[in-house]
């Protein structure tokens, strides 16, 4: 186990190093004079000097990387020349909203996927299973932006539920009921996407597990169906589910971008898109870096959880 952990941590460090290099070089994709592009045509000499200091632009490229990474490790992601606020502060304000959205959507997705997969797996190819499977397969082909638009069309305009449409975000501190209302559509949208994946993965694993001998054994002892499902079949079947969840939650950070943008929810995704539109490159770079590292860390954590659930993996 320890050797496995050490190997994974070394791998993690390597990946984060690659991510940092990737994010660093983004700035150099900009056409023309970097300071002019980043600060706009009216760049003051004072601002230019700041940027030179931050990015080490007058030095050779490998030294520039060290200047940049040194700043980042000290929490200095630069100051946006558009909004005059520190990039780190902006990200710090937006991140909790993403976390809340992710948390809500995952609770919904698991709450729906686990019982439905169990129901389906009990009689594979039965009516219920066919219905659920066909439905989940169809949902795979509906991108989140379409789900949002349909939800807005029906929930906000037809049913008229308050705080659900675009531009109606209520912050958690101001009013938590309003906040839940405004988080409902994004959470449901992301939950649907996750649900489809979890349901399909868990269903096929459960079907396989239920054919194993220890299940037949449990049945012959007269243990109830419910107990067999939860106590005997669920744990060995949940490894692939956790794997899918790790990949999926990482993807949610990115997939949530469009949803946030459509509903004007000021999380990281929304901030990223507005900063792309205003050419606020330092902010874009900061968000890309934070989100990428976040995704990698989430995958890393899920690898650990999987190991706890199924210790055989690390012994290989």
Partner 1 sequence: MSNTFLELEELALVEKPEKKKPLGPLFWICVGWIVLNIFGAIFANVLPLQNPLFQDYGTINAGPSLHHLFGTDDIGRDIFSRIVFGSRVSITVGFGSMVIGFGIGAPLGMLAAFRRGRFDTIVTTFMYILLAFPAIIATIAVLSFWTPRSVFKIILVIGLASVPLVYRVIRTATLSVATKDYVVAAKVQGATDRRILMKELLPNIAPIGISFLLIGVATVIALEGTLAFLGLSVVVPTPSWGNMINESRTVLQQNPWLAIFPSLALCFFLLSLNFIGDRLRSHFDVTEVKL
By CB under 8 A, name the one of 49, 276, 308, 313 that touches partner 1: 276
By CB under 8 A, name the one of 104, 210, 244, 265 that touches partner 1: 244
By CB under 8 A, name the one of 5, 6, 107, 142 that touches partner 1: 142
By CB under 8 A, name the one of 40, 135, 143, 162 that touches partner 1: 143
Burial level of 194, CB count in 10 A (0-12/13-18/19+)?
buried
- Considering only 93-101, 113-121, 180-188, 279-287, which stretch makes contact with partner 1 by CB under 8 A? 279-287
By CB under 8 A, name the one of 56, 78, 186, 255 that touches partner 1: 255
Rounded CA separation 52/44 (Å): 12
Contact 232, 270 (CB under 8 A): no
- Considering only 49-57, 91-99, 177-185, 270-278, which stretch makes contact with partner 1 by CB under 8 A? 270-278
- Considering only 85-93, 102-110, 213-221, 274-282, which stretch makes contact with partner 1 by CB under 8 A? 274-282
Contacts with partner 1: how many residues (CB under 8 A)?
A: 61
Indicate the residue among 38 and 228 with the shorter CB distance to partner 1: 38
Question: Site mask, partner 1, residues 165-204, x = CB under 8 A?
Answer: -x--------------------------x---x--xx--x
Rounded CA separation 203/133 (Å): 9
Single out the residue of 295, 293, 286, 282 nearest to residue 256, CA to CA: 295
Contact 237, 304 (CB under 8 A): no
**Six-digit token string for 249:** 């939650």
By CB under 8 A, name the one of 178, 236, 243, 266 that touches partner 1: 243
Single out the residue of 84, 94, 88 nearest to residue 47, CA to CA: 84
Q: How far is the CB of 285 from partner 1 (least distance, A)?
A: 8
Is residue 13 at the binding interface for partner 1, with CB under 8 A as the rule?
Answer: no
Indicate the residue among 46 and 125 with the shorter CB distance to partner 1: 125
Q: What is the Cβ-side half-sphere exposure of residue 159, based on CA atoms within 13 angstroms?
A: 12
What is the phi/psi pair of residue 294, to 5°?
Answer: -60, -45
Indicate the residue among 183 and 263 with the shorter CB distance to partner 1: 263
Per 3-state DSSP, the chain is made up of helix, strand and coil in percentages (nearest 5) of 80, 0, 20
By CB under 8 A, name the one of 57, 254, 305, 309 that touches partner 1: 254
For residue 17, CA distances in Å to 8, 66, 189 come to 14, 12, 33
What is the phi/psi pair of residue 80, to 5°?
Answer: -65, 130
Q: Cβ–Cβ contacts within 10 Å for residue 218, how many? A: 17
- Give the torsion through C-alpha atoms of 294, 296, 300, 303, to 10 deg: 120
By CB under 8 A, name the one of 257, 282, 286, 314 that touches partner 1: 257
Q: Which residues bind partner 1 (CB under 8 A)?
A: 14-15, 18-19, 22-23, 26-27, 29-31, 137-138, 140-143, 145-146, 149-150, 152-153, 157, 166, 193, 197, 200-201, 204-205, 207-208, 240, 243-244, 247-248, 250-255, 257-258, 261-262, 272-273, 276-277, 281, 284-285, 288, 291-292, 295-296, 299
């Amino acid at each position: 186990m320890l050797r496995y952990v050490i190997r994974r941590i070394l791998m993690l460090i390597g990946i984060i190093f690659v991510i940092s290099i990737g994010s660093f070089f983004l700035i150099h994709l900009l056409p023309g004079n970097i300071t002019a592009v980043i600060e706009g045509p009216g760049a003051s000499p004072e601002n230019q000097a700041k940027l030179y200091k931050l990015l080490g632009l007058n030095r050779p490229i490998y030294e520039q990387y060290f200047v940049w990474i040194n700043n980042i490790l000290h929490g200095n992601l630069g100051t946006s020349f558009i909004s005059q606020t520190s990039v780190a502060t902006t990200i710090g304000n937006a991140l909790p909203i993403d976390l809340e959205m992710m948390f809500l959507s995952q609770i919904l997705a698991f709450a729906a996927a686990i019982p439905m997969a169990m129901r389906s797996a009990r009689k594979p190819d039965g009516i219920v299973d066919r219905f659920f499977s066909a439905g989940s397969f169809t949902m795979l082909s509906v991108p989140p932006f379409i789900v949002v638009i349909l939800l807005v069309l029906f929930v906000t305009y037809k049913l008229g539920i308050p705080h659900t449409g675009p531009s109606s975000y209520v912050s958690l501190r101001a009013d938590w009921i309003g906040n839940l209302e405004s988080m409902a559509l994004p959470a449901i949208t992301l939950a649907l996407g996750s649900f489809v994946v979890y349901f399909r993965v868990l269903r096929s694993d459960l079907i396989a597990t239920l054919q194993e001998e220890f299940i037949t054994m449990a049945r012959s002892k007269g243990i109830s169906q419910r107990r067999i499902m939860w106590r005997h079949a669920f744990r060995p079947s949940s490894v692939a589910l956790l794997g899918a969840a790790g990949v999926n939650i990482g993807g949610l950070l990115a997939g949530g971008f469009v949803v946030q943008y459509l509903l004007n929810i000021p999380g990281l995704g929304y901030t990223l898109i507005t900063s792309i539109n205003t050419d606020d490159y330092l902010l874009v770079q900061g968000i890309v870096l934070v989100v990428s590292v976040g995704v990698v860390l989430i995958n890393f954590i899920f690898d650990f959880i999987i190991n706890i659930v199924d210790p055989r993996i690390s012994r290989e």
